[in-house]
Structure formats: structure tokens, C-alpha cells
Structure 1
């Protein structure tokens, strides 16, 4: 299957303070990745809802492309990554809308 969707992993920018500690600036760098979008299964939706999560989208990417990011953007909306599962060279990432970022 071809990866027909484009997602952007959001990497937080940081700056160093006078003590050398990394402080988030509130800005993000983006890294583009091609993905396949999948629907959330009914069982996954209800299992996640029981834990207070609201999964909305699931994407499949190549495993090597994921570097531990917490946020991604798809079609102008920011999503929080709530789960990732790897199967061979591919990985599925489950996301919920990031309420704080629209």
C-alpha cells in the first residue's frame, strides 16, 4: 500500500538558560513523513475511552521514521500521540486531537 497522506511530526524548539538547562520556547520544528491513514476500530475506541482517551486517527508509517515525538499535525490539526505499535518495518500511531493547540 502506498503512503498517500502527509503528516508532520512536531519537534519542540528549546533554548539554553544561563545554567545550561534546556527551556522550551513554545515553537516547533516540523518533520514531514508519508503515512497511511486508518480508522480507529470500535474496540480500540471503547478501550481507550475507558482510560479517558479519545482516539481519532491512526497512521501507519515506517518504524525508522518515528523518533519518539509526542505531537503531529495532519491537515492543519494538531494531534497528541497516545499509542504506537510496531510490526516489522511498519508502525501504527494512534492519535487524539490536542485540545490545547486546536
Structure 2
């Protein structure tokens, strides 16, 4: 188990409104939560490589903090959540890969 001594920003992207000409407008909302940081296991790394994913880092958070966010930010770096799962009733793991900047 990782110690929860880091801060992770959970980012939710929401859309639903459009501008004057019909382009979708996306809005980011975020929440900062405590997290633990773990390394990606060898099995996770090689298993994900078969599906063209590149897991780099695993964050451990409390399940009540996580609401299906697909983007997280840690130490100024954005990551996409590849997979999330509860490893027990008190902790949840988010397997992440570095997010490529849009545009």
C-alpha cells in the first residue's frame, strides 16, 4: 500500500452546451485529492502494450473521491486514466498513461 502523501487533481470534462454556430463547448471541473503513487507492474505494462497503451504510473485514491474522471494531473503532468479498479473497500487504483496535448 502506498502512503497518501501526494496531491492528485481529478479532472472531469463535461460538454452539453454549444456556441452560436453549434460547436460543442467543453467545461473542465477539477478536485484535488490525496493520493499514493505506485509503479506500474511488469504484467500491467506488457499486458497494456498489446493494446497499444503505455501505462506509466499508478495512483491510489480513496473510492469516495473518484467519480469516473478520465484525466488526472500530478506534479504538473496530465495523465489519461487507462483503467480503474478497487483493490479493497478502502482504496482504488488508477492506472494512467501520459496524456498527449490536444492541438
Please tell me the TM-score bracket, short chain as reference. Answer: 0.7 to 0.9
TM-score, structure 2 as length reference: 0.83
Distance in 2, matches of 1:43 and 1:17, equals 43
Query: What 5-or-longer segments of structure 2 have no aligned partner?
Result: none
Which residue is 1:66 aligned to? Answer: 66
Which residue is 1:55 aligned to? Answer: 55
Which residue is 1:80 aligned to? Answer: 80
Deviations 1:16-58 (A, max 9, x none): 248xx9x333x52221010000000111100001111000010
Distance in 1, matches of 2:14 and 2:96, equals 21
Contact 1:12 1:24 in 2 (8 A): no
Which residue is 1:7 aligned to? Answer: 8
Which residue is 1:28 aligned to? Answer: 28
Which residue is 2:40 aligned to? Answer: 40
Query: What 5-or-longer segments of structure 1 have no aligned partner?
Result: none
Over aligned residue pairs, what C-alpha RMSD do you find?
2.2
Distance in 1, matches of 2:58 and 2:51, equals 18
Higher strand residue share: 1
Q: Detail structure 1 runs of 4+ shifted over 4 Å in the superposition.
A: none
How far did 1:89 drift? 1.9
Aligned length: 98
How far did 1:13 drift? 4.8
